[in-house]
Amino acid sequence: MTTRTKLIAGNWKMNGLKADLAEISGMCARLATLKNSPVETLICPPALLVAEAAGLASLSKLQIGGQDCHMQVKGAHTGDVSAAMLKDAGASHVILGHSERRADHGETDAMVCAKAKAAKAAGLTAIICVGETQNERAQGREYAVVGAQLAGSLSQASQAGDTIIAYEPVWAIGTGLTPSLEDVAQMHNFIRNELARAMGEESQGVRILYGGSVKPGNAESLMSVANVDGALVGGASLKCDDFMAIVEALKL
Ligand code: 13P
């Protein structure tokens, strides 16, 4: 059986000024005191903070990632950030196709797929986000929606070493609501099966994160669900104490 190291990833979204890098320094220091923690950690701050955050975290167990990248290698794309720029700044991962980018910037599965290829070419691990809206769940379409997002966003070249899936039900993001543990188990099992169909044996190594209102108080139960290989945390990743409480909940 493949063992997948759990990953607790933080998505700072459009939050964080230079002063907030102290939280990252705090996380690095706290992680150094955790002996034999079986958990990998990652923080994805806003693009402007990636280089400094990566510098602060360089000798620590904390990895630093971006929140999006352009699908092209370089060129006339004012305001955009390429995968190579993130890599150059010290990022190891990049979040792609977050529901906020799909909603705010009209990102399609095809665009996410192209970005995943760009991320791989630059040597970044892509965290590809999928998840249904409240309406879609009410209509019983959550599996169809997530299945289509996966099929459209994964590239032929996607491999376990460069691809992570994050299941983030849109209605659970920033709302304090979470699906039942049974619903999480069923969706993660569905995603695992879809990955197997798309990637074969290779899929066993792909981690599937859960995201949406993960907090210190619910992390342990969510992370103990089969096929939940970690978390993508928004609000509770902004503060060292909250983020570390989630990491420490998994230390057992
Ligand atoms: P919250 O943890 O704030 O609900 O955000 C989840 C999320 O969108 C992470 O990408």
From ligand 1's centre to the CA of 236, what distance in Å?
Answer: 8
Q: Among the CATH numbers 3.20.20.70, 3.40.190.10, 3.30.830.10, 3.30.70.270, which is that of 6-249?
A: 3.20.20.70
pLDDT in tens, 87-101: 999 999 999 999 999
The residue to which tokens 């909940």 are assigned = 249
Domain ranges of the chain: 6-249
Residue range 103-155, pLDDT digits in tens: 999 999 999 999 999 999 999 999 999 999 999 999 999 999 999 999 999 98
Q: Is residue 252 scored above 60 in pLDDT? A: no
131 lines ligand 1 (CB under 6 A): no
Whether pTM > 0.75 for this model: the answer is: yes
| Average pLDDT score over the chain | 96
CA of 109 to the centre of ligand 1 (A): 20
Question: Which residues touch 47 (CB under 8 Å, ≥6 apart)?
Answer: 66, 67, 68, 81, 86
* Pocket mutation for ligand 1, best pick of 11, 104, 218 (most atoms within 8 Å of C-beta): 11
Check pocket membership of 213 for ligand 1, CB cut-off 6 A.
yes
168 is catalytic: yes
Find out whether the beta carbon of 42 lies less than 6 Å from any atom of ligand 1: no
The share of the chain scoring above pLDDT 70, in percent, equals: 99
Instruction: Using the atom order of ligand 1, give the atom closest to the CA of residue 95.
Output: 10
**Averaged over 26-45, what is the pLDDT?**
94
pLDDT on residue 190: 98
List residues bridging with 201 in a β-sheet: none
Mark whether 93 is an active-site residue: no
